[in-house]
Structure 1
Amino acid sequence: MLLIGRENEIQLLGGLVARTGDGGGATVVCGEAGIGKSALLTEAGRLAGGRGMRVLATGGVQSEAQLAFAGLYRLLRPVIDHADRLPRPQQDAVHTAFGLSPTGTPAESPAGSTEPELFLVALATLGLLAEAAAHRPLLVLVEDAQWLDRASADVLVFVARRLEFEPVLLLAALRDGFPGPFTGSGLPELALTRLDRSAAERVVDDRSPGLPPETRERVLREAAGNPLALVELPAGLGAGTSADPAAGLPLTARLERAFADRMTALPPATRDMLLVAALNDSESLAETMTAAGLMTGQDRTADDLEPAVTARLVEVDGEQVRFLHPLMRSAVHGRAGVGLRRRTHAALALVVEFEDRRVWHRAAATDRPDEAVATELEVAAGRAQRRGGVAAAAAAMERAARLSADPDRRGERLLRAAELAFELGQSETVTRLLAETDRAGLLSERQQWRIAWIRDSFDDGVLGRTRAAWSLARIAERAAADDPHLALNLLYGAALRCWWTEPGVEARQSVVAAAERVPVDGDDPRLLMVLAFASPIEHGRIVLDALRRQSSHSGRAARMLGNAAHAVGAFDLAAGFFAGSLAGLRAQGRLALLARALTLHARSCAQLVDLGVAIPAADEAYRLARDTSQPLVAATAQTARATLAALRGEQDEAYRLAAEAERAALPGAAHAVLAAVQIARGSAALADGRNEDALDELQRVFDPADPAYHRAIRCNAVGDLAEAAVRSGRPESVSGVIAEMTAVGRRTPSPALHSGLRHARAMLTGDFGEALAAGSWPFPGARAQLGYGEWLRRQRRPAESRAPLRAARDSFDAMGLTPWGDRARAELRAAGETSRGRAPDARDRLTPQELQIAQMAAEGLTNREIGQRLYLSHRTVSTHLHRIFPKLGVTSRADLRDTVI
């Protein structure tokens, strides 16, 4: 009857269920407690069953929040036998996450096992759901998503974003006011509001007929349209209890009181059973009966729960006992005293078999420091981390610290909990734990170094506090001899501040001086990355020489070398290093690092105007940065997308993306992002022939007083600046800047800077010889041909101008740069030669993701292999290919190679 007044919502859910066979998706059903979310999910399940759909369900339980992947395991338990159809890395990840052996039976994680990447577990989950939906559509129901353990919630949000082409519908019910992965996830929301007066009256009259008029009116007034209150408050009043809604109490508290009052008339044995069920982190009826028997010394049976079933507090289904609403569990919990709850947890600790659950019950039963329990929790934290449950590991380590009698152990455990919270990006938790660590006792110097690294590296070098570069450098100097690895980590944080913000010359020099004292090889990728971020101009030659000495690298070293190469403007080297790191990151499921590598890979390839690589890389980088909650990385990826849109003549899109990146970067004054935003805007204006606008946009990057100023990134815009000035008839306006950048060029061999200086000199003097002879990257070469052809035509030498203009046109067309190709055509027409327009290619016809899939299919990868690389199901890949073929006019995978490669 809670569905009275929900006709519109039911109709919407029915439509979603009906369409699931043609393509799935996800919806978050949100609202306050008791508003009817659970009832709607139940109705959705009924509708799905009527259509022959399979239903999988799970839910959040407050007491399970510290058990990694608990909610996900409940969801996937019916289909876990499909895991053998997944690729081996995914099989291993999901088995490790659930603590299962390869045969699917319970197993403890070996002490030396490697923790699975959360997003590899997510891809395995997507694969299992896709397999389950292979023969009939699937409905996935997630109740009380706000109480899911963090690992399960992260996985389900990741999966929810990838269900567009799967016959899977995911519905998650979420209570308002609870932050977490589902909140602000961008998934469609169905917001439930309170019932109107008419619907509320229908609920009361249907469930509680015959109420005296004054009682009926009081219920309607106090429930204020909350469906659960409309049902439960009359029951409390009818029992003659104290359901009087005390002034100032929220409705949920009043309902808890109503539930608690309903327990008053229950037999003691029933109340004992209810308390055990409320504190248990499992719905097992056998565990509840056994633990209740241990507490009272008397055997308990399922019959002892019958009065609670009659009172509509719980339901018993086979071997499970469930509360009908989370508030009922809360009411039972709150009614019991602290001592009784501890005794109940102690009884449960003797009953449950799973080691991690047992130790948490032991911890809850302990009211004083207990080193044995603290040690068990520390071991449990290690197991959780090996299963990929970093949030659970952090919670266990923090609880272990609370139970530590020794101040030194307490401090170390708090610090370890802070480090785990740091991995999760939980800034408030990190701050709180570090403050407690400071108060815990005397810290060793190395512990103080670790604290400094966490504090000053947490925000990725942004959000002000530029003096942190100084402090990190000083600490690194002290740590260098004893722990070079930690010293370089500290210096990396300091160097990032030098890159993202502007701490000043002396701060940058202090970072460099400290880095040069760390006892590592001069070609160490970590050292090169620090030098490139902190001093890209002054140490550009040293970094470039070292980069060119490097043999092929993969993994972490390749990413560091790519970072260094990108910072000093060696985009060809950067693209190569990043390309060598991507396969490993994909295979390992390290999506946060993959998002970072893809972002700079995309920016490097955009600078090289390799659109076939840059377009899908930038798109994927943005999506993964959003999935992994890295807003600054997402903003940087947006600058790459904006630059690519500008090069292709998509002016509105370029400005939209640039504005989005700017909004993310302005609060923290992230100069590197703001500089890239201005360059993208300048490129868009220049490609569109709005030369005055381009000049205004680009000049900001060279003005030290402007937030968009950046010492290194401005080197990438010298050529555009000079061209905008010449084409707008204001060459004198940039003479000072060009002179300054020429002086900079004498200090660094940055390929990007020197390419730009050659183009600037050619545009300003009309002497294109150096620019034409440089043999640089394709885009600068084509622009030199265009500029030379234009100059020849203006010198009344049209016949001579046609060859360079023709070469420029062909190069721009090959690169997919429509506005630049059109400019070359216009100049050719003015020189007396006409030419056909550029024919659209795959880059124009396909979305970025479709282009990426088409490229991989053309390379011979199967749908499953493509899905593994892109974190999609193979059926989603198949759907994309069915759309790609007609767009490209091909009929088979074999035809793709000639079209997209």
Structure 2
Amino acid sequence: MSRARQVAVEKREFGMQRRALLGRETERRALAALVEQAASGSGGAVAVHGSPGIGKSALVAEAAARAAERGTRVITAVGVQSEEHVPCAGLHQLVHQLRDGIDDLPAPQRAALRAAVGLADETVPDLYLVGLAALTLLSDAAVKAPLLVVVEDAHWIDRASLDVLGFVARRIESDPLALVAVTRFLDDRLTGAGLPVLHLDPLTDEVSGELLDSVAPGLGQQVRRRLLAEAAGNPLALTELPVALRAVGGAYALTPGPLPLTERLERTFTARVSRLPADTRAVLLLAALNGDGTMDECLAAAGRMLGTAVDTAALAPAVDAGLLEPWGMVFRHPLVRSALHHAATAAERQAAHAALTSQLEGQPDRRAWHRAAATAGPDEHAARDLVLTADRALRRGGVAAALAALRRAAELTADPSARADRLLRAAELALESGQCEAAAHLLGQARSHDLSVRNRGRAAWVDIVLVEGSAQGEGTATAELAELAVEVAASGEPALGLRMLWGAVLHCFWGEPGPAARRRIAVAAERMPVDADNAGVVALRAYCAPVERGRAALESLAAQLDRWSEDADWDQLLGSAAVMMGAPALASRLATRSLDALRARGRLSMLARALCVQAGGAARLADVRAAQLAAEEAGELARETGQPLVHAMVHAIRAQVAAVCGDPRAQEWAAEAERTALPGGARPALAIVQMARGQEALCQGRYGDAFGHLLRVFEPADPAFHPWLRFYGVAELVEAAVRSESAEAARDVLRELAPLAEQTPSPALLCGLRLGRALLSPPDTAEQLYREALGAVPVDWPFERARVHLALGAWLRRHRRPAESRVVLQAACEVFDALGASAWSQRARQELRAAGTSSPRQDPVAVDRLTSTELHVAQLAAQGLTNREIGERLYVSPRTVSTHLQRMFPKLGVTSRGELGAVLRSTTTYVEDVG
């Protein structure tokens, strides 16, 4: 962006008459408060929304000028329609103004940001890493002086830049930094960023009249009434329609009929254009089509169009007509640009684009788009240029820009095979950017052509992901996809084959394709021509056959702990596969292994999934603190990265954790998860919800309710049924059944599951079956079975051991052996206390009181007073990480880290970060001792 353009933006409308701000006192105070808040050290963001001409820019320009007068630095970016598909073009404008701080960024962030804005010819690792870099750059600048970031015409900012700005806006509450986005449209790019909205309504009749009288005094009453009616409270209309009335006799300003206001205003500008000289009209059209191009480009292109030299003198008539600002080739209002675009014929626009193409030899992306716009029919050269543009956009993290380029390239492609290939690639990118409807449409277009084996595989993968989380997938089609994946991998596309197989396995996880389809998918996984130690293959085989190939699958998963993997995306699936195997401790360790790599690469969507697995493993281990910590971060990231099913899983896990620790929010979390999971038949989330409800009811002594909730997970016809996750609910189901006179139903469940235990060493299944048999056994064999259940619990599952202790202690008490019962009940109570499983602690204390003793309720340890985020910050600070390093890990600013530390010190009773380690170690040591 040229300096002249920046100056123009800063001056836009603020230099106009102050009367344009009549009637905006409330909005002015709101922006002033935001700017003052940033100057005081705490930031915020807002989207200023309203129709064209409503006074958005004037309002923001006044706030920016006042901020600058008081020492706040103001930087501005402007969205331009023709650059909407240039990735990170808007971000580049901001970064350019803060370029002196780029070298001070941590190396990974510096490299990512430089690549994103085109300062380095490297691939952007992930757009979220770019977001962290932008956050750090802005935060560092704001430390030197409070900072106001203004994004004008945000509805035309490219998607990648808006994603980055949304990322920043959610994380600046502790920084002296304010962000204001000015927009006509509140599309998902802004609402998804969570910005509060300051909506500008039309001016009242009284204020409209005052404004009109100030710009056009002496109007006749009839004309005045007509202008007020046509303007409908729009300040731009109130100032421009009288000008049009004087200039052209009102022909365009007061055309009869229900003409939309925006079009009426465009006509007022178009009328002035029609009276200009030919060279002026040509330069204006070129400027309208050239976005943020230079004056030299437009003048040279005009000369090519007209066949004669054109210089800056051609701009003077446009300035005199009130279309251009006097300080450069800048339109007085965005409607001037759109008016010029609409007024030109298709042939005139094509000629202008062709002329611009000839002036952009060193700018391949802009040149490619202008060349495509100058083309009426198929043109393979133009299509190839756009494909290259898409490749460059992807290297810079611009998925949406690449998608737009590929869609246009497909339109320009005549060859059916090449067209199908480009449509499928566009469909894949549409999926990646969350545009499912666009992906489905592009997929349909691609399938109208004959597809190669490879492209059939790609199409099948897009199709399967479009219905991820739905139980509607037909088993035969899912199995055929898995078999096609093997064929594609064998043909030299192993990465695509694995991705397709993963699509098939997703249906085994989220839905229920049936045993026959599962067997075919498992066979296909075994046939994949990929190294047997590959993390993706190991995970997928465990997913689709956790029982049939249980022993080998569990051994392969455990072996992955000692292997280093280059692919963190596949690596994070290992933990999820261990969950399917019923090995929660292994799942937590495997999921944790991938976290650092995913954080470093900015893979926040995959990080959300890995944290969800970590939270789920910790919840099943009843490690309440670890589960809450991982679940909170996973939920925030799942929401930010647009993964509703992962978000539903996190809510279900939170319900499970709340049930374990007696938190009344368990029902709230369960209902929230169910609202998302039930319509799509997402069985895993529904199963966890029912187990959470069952555990809550069990701990409250509502045994009949508990049995009803838990039985649903074991009924194949129920939406909450899940063939593998049910392993985790066996013991609770049996206990609830025994205490609600439904023991025979529990015996049926054990008889059904017993053969599975002969095929798999699943810890969850084996522990559940052993404890279940003990609970159902007669007195003469019960004690021995309880002891065997206790001996079978893995050493890394203290909660399960404590649960068996509780069951054994209760049995001993009922059989008049109180002294022995007190020993095991006290052991159970201590473990439950240490883990934070308060609901189970209460059950153990009730049994101890019945056994003739008491166990004082433990006061919450210091760390339990912290929020999950504060605990995470404390853990990292205790490891010796600086605020900046913690910010890198958690994707927040260093000042936000500082704020968390200041809030947590009084809660922990410490005065420095050097004391954190001792506080945290004391809690961890106690858990290990009693476990």
Normalising TM by the smaller chain, what interval?
over 0.9
Extract unaligned runs of 5+ from structure 1: 102-108
Residue in 1 that maps onto 2:928? none
Report the CA distance between 1:579 and its aligned residue: 1.3
Asked if the contact 1:461/1:493 (under 8 Å) is kept, the reply is no
Q: 1:3-62 CA deviation, whole Å, 9 max, x = no partner?
A: 222211111111111111231121222233333322322232123223221111112211
Asked if 1:532 is matched to 2:542, the reply is yes
Structure 1 residues 302, 688: CA separation in 2 closer, same or farther (over 3 Å shift)? farther
Residue in 1 that maps onto 2:105? 86
Residue in 2 that maps onto 1:356? 365
Identify which of 673, 676, 681 aligns with 1:669: 681
Structure 1 residues 809, 95: CA separation in 2 closer, same or farther (over 3 Å shift)? same
Asked if the contact 1:97/1:116 (under 8 Å) is kept, the reply is no
Identify which of 563, 568, 583 aligns with 1:552: 563
Residue in 2 that maps onto 1:844? 864
Q: Which amino acid aligns with 1:659?
A: A
Q: 1:115-153 CA deviation, whole Å, 9 max, x = no partner?
A: 331011100000110011012211111122222111001
Distance across 2 between alignment mates of 1:223 and 1:715: 68
Identify which of 237, 255, 274 aligns with 2:245: 237
Extract unaligned runs of 5+ from structure 2: 1-18, 922-931
Residue in 1 that maps onto 2:787? 769
Asked if 1:822 is matched to 2:838, the reply is no
Report the CA distance between 1:724 and its aligned residue: 2.7
Q: Which amino acid aligns with 1:762?
A: A
Asked if the contact 2:703/2:740 (under 8 Å) is kept, the reply is yes
Identify which of 876, 880, 888 aligns with 1:868: 888
Residue in 2 that maps onto 1:123? 132
Identify which of 418, 428, 452 aligns with 1:409: 418
Q: Which moved more, 1:164-173 or 1:832-841?
A: 832-841
Residue in 1 that maps onto 2:478? 469
The secondary structure found in structure 1 opposite 2:77 is strand
Q: 1:336-384 CA deviation, whole Å, 9 max, x = no partner?
A: 1112112222222233443322222222223343333333322222222
Report the CA distance between 1:316 and its aligned residue: 4.5
Asked if the contact 2:572/2:609 (under 8 Å) is kept, the reply is no
Asked if 1:446 is matched to 2:458, the reply is no
List aligned pairs for 1:101-500, cutoff 5 A: 101=120, 109=121, 113-176=122-185, 179-239=187-247, 240=249, 241-244=251-254, 247=257, 249-282=259-292, 284-317=294-327, 320-352=328-360, 353-439=362-448, 441-462=449-470, 464-467=472-475, 468-483=477-492, 484-500=494-510
Structure 1 residues 850, 260: CA separation in 2 closer, same or farther (over 3 Å shift)? same
Residue in 2 that maps onto 1:630? 643
Q: 1:510-555 CA deviation, whole Å, 9 max, x = no partner?
A: 2223223333454443333333333333333331132234433443
Residue in 2 that maps onto 1:709? 721
Distance across 1 between alignment mates of 2:258 and 2:505: 52
Q: Which moved more, 1:589-598 or 1:400-409?
A: 400-409
Structure 1 residues 716, 270: CA separation in 2 closer, same or farther (over 3 Å shift)? same
Distance across 1 between alignment mates of 2:803 and 2:420: 61
Identify which of 33, 41, 55 aligns with 1:15: 33
Report the CA distance between 1:291 and its aligned residue: 2.7
Report the CA distance between 1:749 and its aligned residue: 2.1
Distance across 1 between alignment mates of 2:863 and 2:259: 60
Residue in 2 that maps onto 1:787? 807
Q: 1:215-239 CA deviation, whole Å, 9 max, x = no partner?
A: 2222222333333333333333333
Asked if the contact 1:495/1:531 (under 8 Å) is kept, the reply is no
Q: 1:564-596 CA deviation, whole Å, 9 max, x = no partner?
A: 212111112221211111111111111111111
The secondary structure found in structure 2 opposite 1:346 is helix
Q: CA RMSD in A?
A: 2.3
Q: 1:148-173 CA deviation, whole Å, 9 max, x = no partner?
A: 11100111111111111111111112
Report the CA distance between 1:734 and its aligned residue: 3.0
Q: Which amino acid aligns with 1:773?
A: G
Asked if the contact 1:96/1:116 (under 8 Å) is kept, the reply is no
Asked if the contact 1:72/1:152 (under 8 Å) is kept, the reply is yes
TM-score, normalised by the number of residues in structure 1: 0.94
Residue in 1 that maps onto 2:582? 569
Report the CA distance between 1:400 and its aligned residue: 2.7
TM-score, normalised by the number of residues in structure 2: 0.91
Report the CA distance between 1:850 and its aligned residue: 0.8
Report the CA distance between 1:842 and its aligned residue: 4.3
Q: Which amino acid aligns with 2:891?
A: Y
Report the CA distance between 1:677 and its aligned residue: 1.6
Report the CA distance between 1:778 and its aligned residue: 0.7
Structure 1 residues 822, 215: CA separation in 2 closer, same or farther (over 3 Å shift)? same
Distance across 2 between alignment mates of 1:454 and 1:249: 44
Report the CA distance between 1:88 and its aligned residue: 0.6
Q: 1:151-202 CA deviation, whole Å, 9 max, x = no partner?
A: 00111111111111111111112323x5332124333222332333223223
Residue in 2 that maps onto 1:595? 608
The secondary structure found in structure 1 opposite 2:189 is coil
Q: Which amino acid aligns with 2:106?
A: P
Asked if the contact 1:127/1:873 (under 8 Å) is kept, the reply is yes
Asked if the contact 1:203/1:230 (under 8 Å) is kept, the reply is yes
Asked if 1:646 is matched to 2:655, the reply is no
Asked if 1:832 is matched to 2:852, the reply is yes
Asked if the contact 2:471/2:510 (under 8 Å) is kept, the reply is no
The secondary structure found in structure 1 opposite 2:188 is coil
Q: 1:468-495 CA deviation, whole Å, 9 max, x = no partner?
A: 4134134235435324443332221111
Asked if the contact 1:270/1:305 (under 8 Å) is kept, the reply is yes
Structure 1 residues 726, 438: CA separation in 2 closer, same or farther (over 3 Å shift)? closer
Distance across 2 between alignment mates of 1:463 and 1:195: 52
Asked if the contact 1:496/1:534 (under 8 Å) is kept, the reply is no
Report the CA distance between 1:694 and its aligned residue: 2.5
Asked if the contact 2:469/2:680 (under 8 Å) is kept, the reply is no
Report the CA distance between 1:600 and its aligned residue: 1.0
The secondary structure found in structure 1 opposite 2:145 is coil
Q: Which moved more, 1:700-709 or 1:259-268?
A: 259-268
Residue in 2 that maps onto 1:614? 627
Question: How many residues were matched structurally?
Answer: 886
The secondary structure found in structure 1 opposite 2:149 is strand
The secondary structure found in structure 2 opposite 1:796 is coil
Asked if the contact 1:595/1:621 (under 8 Å) is kept, the reply is yes
The secondary structure found in structure 2 opposite 1:27 is strand
Distance across 2 between alignment mates of 1:324 and 1:512: 65
Distance across 2 between alignment mates of 1:208 and 1:54: 37
Q: Which amino acid aligns with 1:413?
A: R
Asked if the contact 1:818/1:838 (under 8 Å) is kept, the reply is no
Structure 1 residues 2, 649: CA separation in 2 closer, same or farther (over 3 Å shift)? farther
Asked if the contact 1:222/1:245 (under 8 Å) is kept, the reply is no
Distance across 2 between alignment mates of 1:253 and 1:47: 33
Residue in 1 that maps onto 2:79? 60
Q: Which moved more, 1:362-371 or 1:891-900?
A: 362-371
The secondary structure found in structure 2 opposite 1:594 is helix
Q: Which amino acid aligns with 1:648?
A: C
Q: Which amino acid aligns with 2:563?
A: S
Asked if the contact 1:346/1:361 (under 8 Å) is kept, the reply is yes
